[in-house]
């Protein structure tokens, strides 16, 4: 059941912080990510006992909070320190280059609403007030909406809708950010997406005034660019937050060549005694989220029929059905072959005449089957987290959890006498490294929602794996193989990546798809080949072909993806990611005699993995450097002279191979990169009494 939005429409109010008068016109339900509420001095331990109690890592949970779209009284605008005068958007018209500005609109949280009453028929001076509302003494509040308000809201819904709010508090300074998607325009065939963001800076301890001196922004785009911009003050001002004026609000604009991105940064503020403090600007998404109901209302999507949610086969049912379907395909094909071979020559001629007469019917039947399969495939395509790669996903979270629980039960039975105690030095070592990796990557999808646990198995096998549920297993043999914590971080980063990327569900889904195609091929083979032995032999060869040409290569692809993402996780945790090359070289030496060729393996060859990771070291070290990690000593053995001083090579590494949508380091201080090229809007125009049509090319300036 969804959360109810409190209805306070048409209510007059005073703003709790800025004191202006206004009227509520309609509400929004926003997700508020308050990092101050969720922050703790240290993460809880990652180890878990055999009891049912569970410990979780630091999470940033969204709270649903009601915000209101309001009209502000233009008489109060000159006396407050808030830019509430214009909401801007590009609209739907691709043929023009216009920026629309609607003056006197603001977004106000429930907590900032202070109701008041008035006997005036027009208590708020705003050019849209009389167009939106009409006085009615018999209602409470005394105003009812006109049809114009409803049509106006319908028309501008997409550009006005508020979804996410980010908050953080540093040194008693609260920063609140609300981003809005404005629209897109094409320039020389390339789409440019625009966002507006509103920022409120509030001094929670006004007895100690501060002055905002500098801003420092980091902007990451899905296209792979990471830009930095720094400047004095904001919107041409250096606001002072004191007892008289404890808060300041402003808005600015940003454009990206990609439809998604991320921004975060810091404000440098000066106290009256001359000391400076760094205030965090919380990370927030720049996303283009087209509202489906809006598309329907605008007749951009025509709903001709209703479809249900994708139907998923339970994995255990598929395990039983798979051999049954294979047997059915063999028997059906064999029966069809024997039936045809037993037909007299004249009946075969009649059979082909029948096929020719009804060929369009059979084409329609097989076309319908193919279309159904294509529809099923297209409705089960997902975007992989972190990498943004498209993939076929048949498994649901519930099914994967069910299989994961079965696997945990089996592991508990198998290794019941081999679990090392929670306070053992081996378990504590794994927990220490895992905790550091996870805490440095809480900005990535799924990290916060998974309950991570640690288990060390007292066996000689060199194994490490992580279940989709977040249960991390490492063997004593693996701990004896790694030379240091950095190599252990490489191993754990790789295995954690499998869980974050949901590779288990993806691989099972892909195998089921290949199995289905194999069953269909078996039906054809047993129908066509002349004898049972020939059919059986060809079916066996085709199964081996599917394994070596599809199943194993796909598994190796997932392993390579986990290697690359795992390298990023370890780099953000400030580990020496050059140890990844040494580790896989060592594994290659240990397994050289008994290693099977890569063609027959689910994993890439160890020496190949070492070479692949070596090519990505410069990219990973650049990420490590951006996260403000301590510099590493030059690695002579790998031949990487002064690699930390080299610029990021965008032709290698994740920037080219994996378009990461979010990249936030837990250490953001003193990270500055000169911004080369980024098109921005400047601050909004002030003090307009009516909606204006402003040209895009009139806006120019810096990120405010």
Which residue is catalytic, options 495, 561, 564, 622? 495
Cα distances (angstroms) measured from residue 520 to each of 322, 325, 360, 542: 12, 9, 22, 12
Q: How many CB atoms lie within 10 A of CB 493?
A: 28
Return all residues near 253 (Cβ < 8 A) that are at least 6 apart.
Answer: 88, 182, 194, 195, 196, 197, 680, 681, 682, 699
Return all residues near 289 (Cβ < 8 A) that are at least 6 apart.
Answer: 163, 181
Q: What is the phi/psi pair of residue 55, to 5°?
A: -115, 145
SS3 104: coil
3-state SS, one letter per residue, for 436-466: HHHHCCCCCCCCCCCCCEEEEECCCCCCEEE
Instruction: Mark out the alpha helices in 342-358 (DSSP H runs).
Output: 345-357
User: With contact defined as beta carbons under 8 Å apart, do 70 and 13 qualify?
Assistant: yes
User: With contact defined as beta carbons under 8 Å apart, do 661 and 611 qualify?
Assistant: no
User: With contact defined as beta carbons under 8 Å apart, do 282 and 175 qualify?
Assistant: yes
Return all residues near 340 (Cβ < 8 A) that are at least 6 apart.
Answer: 348, 351
Q: At what angle do helices 315-341 and 397-414 cross, to 10 degrees?
A: 100
User: With contact defined as beta carbons under 8 Å apart, do 210 and 170 qualify?
Assistant: no
CA separation for the pair 282, 165 (Å, rounded): 10
CA separation for the pair 249, 81 (Å, rounded): 6
User: With contact defined as beta carbons under 8 Å apart, do 115 and 170 qualify?
Assistant: no
Long-range contacts of 532-537 (CB under 8 A, 24+ apart): 532/334, 535/330, 535/333, 535/334, 535/337
CA separation for the pair 387, 670 (Å, rounded): 28
CA separation for the pair 276, 113 (Å, rounded): 33
Q: What is the phi/psi pair of residue 512, to 5°?
A: -65, -40
Catalytic, 397? Answer no
DSSP 535-593: HHHHHHHHHHHHIIIIIHHHHHHHHHHHHHHHHHHHHHTT--TTHHHHHHHHHHHHHTT
CA separation for the pair 171, 192 (Å, rounded): 37
Q: Pairing state of beta strands 240-241 and 381-383?
A: unpaired
Return all residues near 156 (Cβ < 8 A) that are at least 6 apart.
Answer: 89, 102
Would you name the residues annotated as active-site residues? 495
């Amino acid at each position: 059941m969804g959360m109810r939005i409190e209805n306070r429409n048409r209510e007059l109010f005073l703003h709790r912080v800025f004191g202006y008068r206004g009227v509520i016109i309609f509400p929004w339900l926003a997700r508020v990510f308050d990092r101050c509420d969720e922050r703790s001095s240290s993460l809880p331990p990652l180890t878990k006992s055999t009891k049912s109690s569970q410990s979780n890592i630091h999470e940033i949970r969204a709270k649903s909070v009601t915000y209101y779209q309001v009209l502000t009284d233009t008489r109060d605008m000159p006396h407050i320190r808030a830019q509430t005068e214009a909401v801007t958007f590009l609209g739907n018209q691709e043929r023009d280059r216009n920026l629309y500005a609607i003056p006197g609109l603001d977004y106000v949280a429930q907590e900032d609403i202070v109701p008041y009453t008035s006997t005036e028929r027009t208590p708020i001076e705003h050019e849209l007030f009389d167009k939106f509302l009409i006085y009615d003494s018999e209602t409470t509040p005394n105003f009812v909406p006109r049809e114009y308000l409803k049509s106006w809201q319908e028309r501008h819904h997409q550009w006005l809708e508020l979804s996410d709010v980010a908050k953080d508090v540093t040194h008693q300074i609260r920063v609140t950010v609300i981003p809005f998607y404005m629209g897109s325009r094409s320039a020389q065939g390339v789409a440019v997406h625009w966002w507006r963001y509103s920022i409120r800076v509030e001094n929670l301890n006004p007895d100690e005034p501060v002055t905002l001196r500098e801003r420092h922004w980091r902007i990451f785009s899905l296209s792979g660019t990471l830009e930095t911009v720094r400047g004095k003050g904001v919107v041409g001002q250096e606001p002072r937050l004191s007892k008289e004026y404890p808060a300041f609000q402003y808005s600015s604009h940003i454009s990206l060549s990609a439809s998604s991105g991320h921004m975060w940064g810091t404000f440098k503020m000066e106290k009256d005694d001359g000391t400076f403090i760094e205030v965090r600007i919380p990370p927030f998404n720049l996303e283009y989220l087209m509202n489906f109901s809006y598309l329907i209302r605008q007749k951009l999507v025509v709903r001709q029929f209703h479809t249900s949610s994708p139907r998923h086969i339970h994995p255990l049912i598929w395990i039983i059905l798979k051999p049954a379907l294979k047997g059915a395909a063999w028997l059906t094909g064999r029966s069809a072959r024997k039936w045809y071979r037993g037909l007299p020559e004249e009946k075969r001629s009649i059979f082909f005449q029948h096929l020719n007469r009804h060929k369009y019917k059979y084409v329609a039947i097989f076309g319908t089957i193919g279309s159904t399969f294509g529809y099923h495939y297209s409705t089960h395509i997902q975007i992989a987290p972190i990498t943004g790669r498209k993939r076929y996903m048949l498994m649901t979270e519930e099914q994967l959890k069910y299989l994961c629980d079965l696997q945990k039960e089996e592991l508990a039975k198998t290794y019941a006498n081999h679990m090392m105690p929670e306070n053992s030095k081996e378990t504590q070592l794994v927990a220490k490294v895992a905790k550091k990796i996870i805490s440095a990557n809480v900005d990535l999808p799924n990290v916060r929602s998974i309950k991570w646990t640690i288990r060390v198995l007292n066996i000689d096998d060199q194994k490490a794996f992580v279940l989709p549920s977040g249960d991390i297993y490492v063997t004593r043999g693996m701990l004896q193989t790694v030379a240091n914590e950095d190599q252990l971080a490489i191993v754990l980063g790789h295995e954690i990546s499998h869980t974050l990327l949901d590779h288990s569900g993806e691989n099972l889904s892909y195998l089921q798809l290949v199995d289905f195609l194999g069953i269909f091929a078996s039906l054809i083979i047993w129908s066509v080949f002349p004898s049972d032995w020939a059919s059986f032999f060809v079916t066996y060869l085709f199964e081996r072909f599917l394994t070596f040409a599809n199943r194993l290569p796909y598994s190796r692809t997932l392993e390579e993806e986990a290697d690359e993402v795992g390298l990023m996780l370890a780099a953000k945790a400030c580990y020496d990611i050059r140890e990844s090359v040494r580790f896989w070289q060592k594994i290659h030496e240990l397994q050289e005699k008994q290693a099977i060729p890569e063609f027959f393996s689910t994993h890439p060859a160890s020496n190949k993995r070492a070479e692949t990771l070596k090519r990505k070291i410069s990219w990973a070290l650049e990420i490590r450097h951006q996260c403000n990690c301590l510099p590493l000593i030059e690695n002579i053995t790998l031949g990487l002279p002064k690699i930390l001083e080299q610029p990021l090579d965008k032709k290698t590494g994740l920037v080219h191979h994996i378009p990461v949508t979010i990249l936030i380091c837990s250490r953001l201080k003193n990270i500055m990169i000169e911004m080369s090229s980024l098109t921005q809007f400047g601050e909004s125009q002030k003090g307009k009494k009516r909606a204006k049509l402003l040209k895009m090319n009139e806006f120019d300036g810096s990120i405010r």
